[in-house]
Amino acid sequence: MTSPIAESTAADTKMTPAEREVLELATPPAKRMWVPIAWAVLWGISVVSLLAASAFLITRASLIIHILWLGWAIVAVRMFALGRAVFRYLKQLSGHDASFRQLAEMRVGLLDRLEPLAPAGLARTRRGDLLSRLVDDIDELQFLPLRVIEPLITSVIVAALTVVGVAIMSVPAALTLLGCLLVALIVATLAQLMIAGAADRQVAPLRAALGDRVHDTITNLETLRAYDALDSQLARIHEADAALRRVLVRRSIGEGVVTGVVTIFAGLATAGALWFNVDATANGTFTPEFLTMVALVPLALFEVFAQVPVAVAAWRRVRVSAQRVATVAPTTVPSEIPQPGGTAKLPEGPLDITITDVSARWPGAAQPAIQGCSVEIPAGARLLVAGESGSGKSTFANVLVRFLDYDGTYRIGGVEARDVDPELLRQRVGLIEQRAHLFNESIRQNLLFAKPDATDAELEAVIERVGLGGWMRSRGGLDAHLGERGSLVSGGQGQRIALARALLADFDVLVLDEPTANVDPGRADALVADLLDAAGSHTVVLISHTPIDERLISAKLVLG
């Protein structure tokens, strides 16, 4: 497994096409970005102009007696004070609006990209880590417009306008200001990089590692308690938490240093402006109003400009998150996973299946998991797929439902399966996995997602059909809850509910992957007999590594 730290160094590397695509997905289109940028520029101009107008007003007020001479300066101060608050509000509002809209599009876009990978392409991805990539990393990516693009563009425009404005009053003061801005940028960025550069890159992977450990602990609580391993697991969580806290503290120190550097250079720019203009003011060639303005304006400008080193640091964090998202949602789907598309249509009615010399490989595997596999499955047949553990039975099931691609021939209803869109094929061939997922919902909800418009009478009939009618009534009917991952039902009941779901979806071919895996051997045959009986006229491909009563089946394929 890649360590978070090792992974974090990847941020220094060249941008991959997948990473670039994630960053493009995170960037709002220009038509959404220019509005917050325009408000931000007006806010920055108001910040600087407010201090400039205030400096002018105070100085002028100390020099003249009549208030009438101050009229326009008072109006300007009021205007910029209001503008500063209003434009800041508008920039935040429109900036967050653009960013949140993009966030929604980005989440959907990435889930669209992940969907074809499941389940075969996600087998090596840790679920806690995947969750963290899809939640925390995508949240971090929303800062690309908010904390990188908008502040950088705004700061550069406001700084350029301010330097020009100061140059109109005093060229030496403007040059000092420009020099201080550039040196502050270099010093603050380098200091931040040295103190917190590594921390910036480590936050996302360390947060994911913590999330992963917490997720592992919660989902495996029973096992950890059974083996008295909860304390050591909690210690691992504390360790991950401490590592994350350490880098967050370093990051905060970096931010503090940036603020300090910016303040120092703001002071130097002020000192420079005074140094060059005090004598001229004393001998009357430079007005006192201009002196206070060129001296105080740098303080306001640096308030806006302080965003630049922070944006550079934010860019590092955004890149790490983009890389992390890019690795789970690659732009190209592995060749072992079927691509969407295919124009052939499956015929209505019963489907005969012919498999000839089929082999299939899992993504990333060196060897095929099944090879030279041939079998006939006439419509309505009961095919038993047998073989030792690891012989490829589940792989065969994944090929049948087109989660995995294949070499050889797989004809269904007279059509080559690879010419049919996998989604369409899965509407006719359904897989009931070894550990069929039951949602922490009522029986009704667990069934309804297979057929959303099913009536209660239909749901009750299908539950009756799979032999759970009495059990359902004893639990209070369709509203009975199944618990987290079906913890309130036995293994056999779980398989029956999963079959009920598949029957509601009305697949022509049902692939049952080890339905008796979680049932004690004495009851296995009875469960299989019930499931096959409930399947009625549907074709059933039954995968089992334990012997099955041969009278229940019509054909057999032995793998391995």
Ligand X SMILES: Nc1ncnc2c1ncn2[C@@H]1O[C@H](COP(=O)(O)OP(=O)(O)OP(=O)(O)O)[C@@H](O)[C@H]1O
Q: Which residues bind ligand X (CB under 6 A)?
A: 120, 123, 362, 365, 369, 387, 389-395, 545
The residue (of 147 and 361) whose beta carbon lies closer to ligand X is 361
CB of 492: closest distance to ligand X in angstroms? 18
> Could you please report the per-residue DSSP string of 149-182?
IHHHHHHHHHHHHHHHHHHHH-HHHHHHHHHHHH
Beta carbon of residue 403, minimum distance to ligand X (angstroms, whole number):
9
Strand partners, 509: 429, 539
Give the nearest distance from C-beta 329 to ligand X in angstroms.
18
Compare residues 353 and 369 and give the one whose CB is closer to ligand X. Answer: 369
Q: Which is nearer to ligand X, 389 or 537 (CB)?
A: 389
Residue 399 CB, shortest distance to ligand X, in Å, is 10
Q: What is the DSSP string of 349-392?
A: S---EEEEEEEE--TT-SS-SEEEEEEEE-TT-EEEEE--TTSS
Q: Is residue 439 within a helix (H) or strand (E), and if so which, with residue range? A: none
Q: Which is nearer to ligand X, 169 or 373 (CB)?
A: 373
| Least Å from the CB of residue 432 to ligand X | 14
- Minimum Å gap between C-beta 17 and ligand X is 25
The 10 Å Cβ neighbour count of residue 85 is: 12
Which residue lies nearer to ligand X by CB, 43 or 362?
Answer: 362
- Cβ(340)–Cβ(423) below 8 Å: yes
120 versus 300: smaller Cβ distance to ligand X: 120
DSSP-derived secondary structure for 88-102: HHHHHHHHHHHHHHH
The 3-state DSSP class for residue 31 equals helix
Residue 559 CB, nearest approach to ligand X (Å): 7
The CB-of-389 to ligand X minimum distance in angstroms stands at 3
Rounded distance, CA 52 to CA 79, Å?
12
CB of 332 to ligand X, least distance (A): 18
**Pick 404 or 463: Cβ nearer ligand X:** 404
Closest to ligand X by CB, 451 or 556: 556
Query: How would you class 463 by CB atoms within 10 Å of its CB: exposed for 0-12, middle for 13-18, buried for 19 or more?
Result: buried
Is the Cβ of residue 265 or residue 362 nearer to ligand X in the bound state? 362
User: Which has the closest alpha carbon to 381: 354, 352, 401?
Assistant: 352
Q: Whose Cβ is closer to ligand X: residue 206's or residue 531's? A: 531
CB of 379 to ligand X, least distance (A): 25
Q: Output phi, psi for 555, to 5 deg.
A: -155, 160
**Cα(275)–Cα(200) distance, rounded to whole angstroms?**
39
Write phi, then psi, for 402 (nearest 5 degrees). Answer: 65, 35
- Decide whether 146 or 370 has the Cβ nearer to ligand X: 370
Residues with Cβ within 8 Å of 347's Cβ and at least 6 positions away in sequence, in order, are 413, 414, 415
Q: What angle separates helix 30-63 from helix 288-305, to the nearest 10 degrees?
A: 150
**Phi (first) and psi of residue 439, to 5 degrees:** -80, 155
How many other C-beta atoms can be found within 10 angstroms of the C-beta atom of residue 504?
A: 19
Q: Rounded to the nearest 10 degrees, how much is the dihedral formed by the CA atoms of 208, 210, 211, 217?
A: 140
Minimum CB separation of residue 506 from ligand X in Å reads 26
